[in-house]
Amino acid sequence: MNTQPIGIFDSGIGGTSIFKEIHALLPNENSIYLADSKHAPYGNKSKQDIIELSAKNTEYLLSKNCKLIVVACNTATTNAVSHLRSKYNVPFIGIEPAIKPAALNTETKAVGILATKGTLSSELFHKTTDLYSNDINVIEQIGEGIVPLVEEGKATSNEMKALLTDYLKPMIDANIDYLVLGCTHYPYVMPLLLELLPKHVKIIDSGLAVAKQTKAVLEQNQLLNKTAKTPENAFYINTNITVLKDIVGANFKVEYLDF
């Protein structure tokens, strides 16, 4: 049982930022990563479409005997994780924008949040934001166009720089001291964010928290892999494999899969 893989899925290659955190914390674990790049971006799709795609990804991973599923996508989590939890009998770990630590620590009382339309319009996101942002100016920005550029391997391109310059301006004008990254593709634009934001702005994402939660849930369910065998971490994508291969490096198996 414990050697069964962890299943991880995203609308594309962004969730590899979560895989990297999980692999660093749980190096013994086998895993299967599913990049549904053919249907990216999820962020502009209806809630029903996001639920259907998330269920399809989950079913594939369960058919591969996964013991736990990490929904490495804010958009899929905020729109579909309650559906997945009620339908499938395995633990699910989701990812949501880390609004709480930003709201609790901001000194300027202004916090920026960059996420997809699907995440920012979801009920779950609003619930969390309302809970923590009473006296705080939360500047929400849809990151339209960022996911497709990351998927094309253009995370540090001039096109990306132009988009981010536009998106960050209202936040900089409002004197934010925290920027919350609400999409797992966005850690890949970190070099540009660091270049464009004033030095005092702290950037937070939920990657490490997701890895810690994954470990805790595996422990609670006695599902940790305690064997010392070299783990297998496989990656599947339903479009061109090149960008995913570049992002995960030569140590991992990346294959095309028609799904």
Write out the residues near ligand DGL by the rule CB under 6 A: 10-12, 14-15, 40-43, 73-75, 116, 119, 147, 183-185
Which of 73, 201 has the CB closer to ligand DGL? Answer: 73
Choose, from 73, 115, 164, 243, the residue flagged as catalytic. 73
Q: How many residues does the chain have?
A: 259
Q: Is the dihedral of CA 212, 216, 221, 225 positive or negative?
A: positive
Question: What minimum distance in Å lies between the beta carbon of 35 and ligand DGL?
Answer: 10
Question: What minimum distance in Å lies between the beta carbon of 89 and ligand DGL?
Answer: 25
183 catalytic residue (yes or no): yes
- Alpha-carbon distance 159 to 148, whole Å? 11
Which of 80, 223 has the CB closer to ligand DGL? Answer: 80
Determine the 3-state secondary structure of 89 from DSSP: coil
Of 177, 201, 21, 35, give the one whose Cα is nearest residue 103. Answer: 177
**Residue 117, class by beta-carbon neighbours within 10 Å (0-12 exposed, 13-18 middle, 19+ buried)?**
middle
- Alpha-carbon distance 7 to 234, whole Å? 10
Q: State how far Cα 52 lies from the chain centre.
A: 18
Choose, from 183, 189, 201, 237, the residue flagged as catalytic. 183
- Alpha-carbon distance 207 to 143, whole Å? 18
Which of 186, 223 has the CB closer to ligand DGL? Answer: 186
Question: What minimum distance in Å lies between the beta carbon of 226 and ligand DGL?
Answer: 31
66 catalytic residue (yes or no): no
Question: What minimum distance in Å lies between the beta carbon of 77 and ligand DGL?
Answer: 8
Which of 227, 257 has the CB closer to ligand DGL? Answer: 257
Q: Please report where in the chains the tokens 């994954």 appear, as a residue.
A: 214
Question: What minimum distance in Å lies between the beta carbon of 87 and ligand DGL?
Answer: 21
- Alpha-carbon distance 224 to 215, whole Å? 8
Q: Which residue is nearest to ligand DGL (CB)?
A: 43
Of 76, 143, 141, give the one whose Cα is nearest residue 113. Answer: 141
Which of 42, 60 has the CB closer to ligand DGL? Answer: 42
* Phi, psi dihedrals of residue 241, rounded to the nearest 5°: -80, -10
Q: Which residues are tagged catalytic?
A: 73, 183
